[in-house]
Amino acid sequence: MSQGERKIVAVSVACVWTKPDSSRLVDEPALQRPAGIRAWLDAMTLEERLDLCNGNRLQTQVLYGTEVIVAEVQGEWARIFIPSQSTRKEAAGYPGWVRSAQLADPAADSGLLPRADVVSAAAWLHTAPAAEARSLELSFMTSLPVLAEEASWVKVRTPDGIGYLQTGDVRITESSPASVTASSNGHVGASILEQGRRFLGLPYLWGGLSSFGYDCSGFVYSMHRYAGITIPRDASDQARHGLLVEKERLEPGDLLFFAYEEGRGAVHHVGMYAGHGRMIHSPETGKTIEIVELSGYKLALEHCVSRRYWS
């Protein structure tokens, strides 16, 4: 593995750490190949979840089959950039450290093939077109190159070879990300909101960017990806782009940003307007994705700006 080399993520969800020594003993299941994401989440105490943020440990996550760029290698760790996650931190993409064993070589022609995007909340990858041949549980919006469509199965290329996904779990697109998808009433913002509602009750995860657990900005990032819209990874960057929307003109799918010092300080949170004076968001460690009334909500006075990316 060398500097500048392109790789793809070879685990269902790779955790991207601040430094090679940022992970703890409790994080070992998430560092393996295959990664034990559910076992990791189930094992962590509330204090250990809080420490992902308070200890400046977890930066972001990246999904199976996603391309990354290797910036540096130290022992069994690789510093990577994630081009699909834009940030002010690095022009090449979101930076951080992953276990080198969780990366694989990409196939030369994968970028030319149609994509199978997981649109179920989660989906099983199979080693053969048979229900009993489960091999890996994949997150919402995992995207893999399509080799063939076979009745009720889609044959895909994976970092581990050939795999199969059930047609009901995916949509086929000509490229990744998919083109913009509108809801039944033709409103793209409402379509983004519809996807967000599917994850109500999902526990918050600092740095989370998978349907096993989202942080606030990872949640809105992933719902926009469903509509074929790539937005910056972090709330502070998301608040700097998109179309500025005044409060009286908010529509479902618009993003609401919150800043310290009653809106005058640094942006620290983002939610999505859900219509009728409400917001859907992934609030904080120890809580779950929820819809709240904006009026009287504890962050109401911190609302500093609203942005629209779907127009």
pLDDT digits (tens, 9 = 90+) for 27-66: 999 999 999 999 999 999 999 999 999 999 999 999 999 9
- Residue 37 sits in the same domain as residue 70: yes
Q: Which pLDDT belongs to residue 147?
A: 96
This prediction has a pTM of 0.95
Q: Does the active-site annotation cover 216?
A: yes
96 lies in the same domain as 118: no
Of 104, 125, 140, which residue is a domain's last? 104
Q: Indicate which CATH number applies to the domain containing 157.
A: 2.30.30.40
Query: Are 165 and 195 contained in the same domain?
Result: no
What CATH number has the domain bearing residue 291? 3.90.1720.10
My answer on whether 100 and 116 are in the same domain is no
| 196 and 290 together in one domain | yes
* Domain annotation covers residue 33: yes
142 and 32 in a common domain: no
The answer to whether 15 is a known catalytic residue is no
Annotated catalytic residue within 15, 126, 224, 281 = 281
Whether 284 and 235 share a structural domain: yes
Mean pLDDT in each 10-residue stretch from start to end of the chain (311 residues)? 89 98 98 97 98 98 98 96 97 97 89 93 97 96 96 96 97 68 70 97 98 98 97 98 96 97 96 97 98 95 97 83
Domain contains 246: yes
Token pair belonging to 186:
């033709």
- Calpha distance 116→294 (Å, rounded): 37
Q: Spot the catalytic one: 216, 224, 303, 304.
A: 216
pLDDT at position 186 is 66
pLDDT number for residue 4: 86
By C-alpha distance, which of 284, 127, 122 is closest to 208? 284
The answer to whether residue 183 sits within a structural domain is no
* 180 in a structural domain: no
Helical axes 188-197 vs 216-226, angle rounded to 10°: 130
Where in the sequence is the domain holding 159, given as residue range(s)? 110-173
Q: How high is the pLDDT of residue 294?
A: 95
Whether residue 56 is found in the same domain as residue 29: yes
Q: Which residue has the tokens 């030369």?
A: 108
Active site residue 304: no
Residues 223 and 151 in one domain: no
Asked if the structure places residue 178 within a domain, the reply is no
Domain boundary among 127, 149, 173: 173
Residue 44: inside a domain, yes or no? yes
- Within this chain, do residues 267 and 166 fall inside the same structural domain, yes or no? no
| Per-position DSSP letters for 24-84, written without gaps between them | -GGGGGGGSSS--HHHHHHH--HHHHHHHHHTT-EEEEEETT-EEEEEEEETTEEEEEETT
In a domain, 90, yes or no: yes
pLDDT at 235: 98
Whether residue 179 is contained in a domain is answered as no
Specify whether 27 is located in the same domain as 61: yes
Q: What's the total number of domains in the chain?
A: 3
Q: Return the pLDDT at 110.
A: 74
CA 248 to mean position of chain CA atoms:
30
Where is the domain boundary, 144, 173, 202?
173
Query: Is the bond preceding residue 177 a cis peptide, omega within 30 degrees?
Result: yes
Same structural domain, 85 and 134: no
Which residue is catalytic, options 224, 269, 303, 304?
269
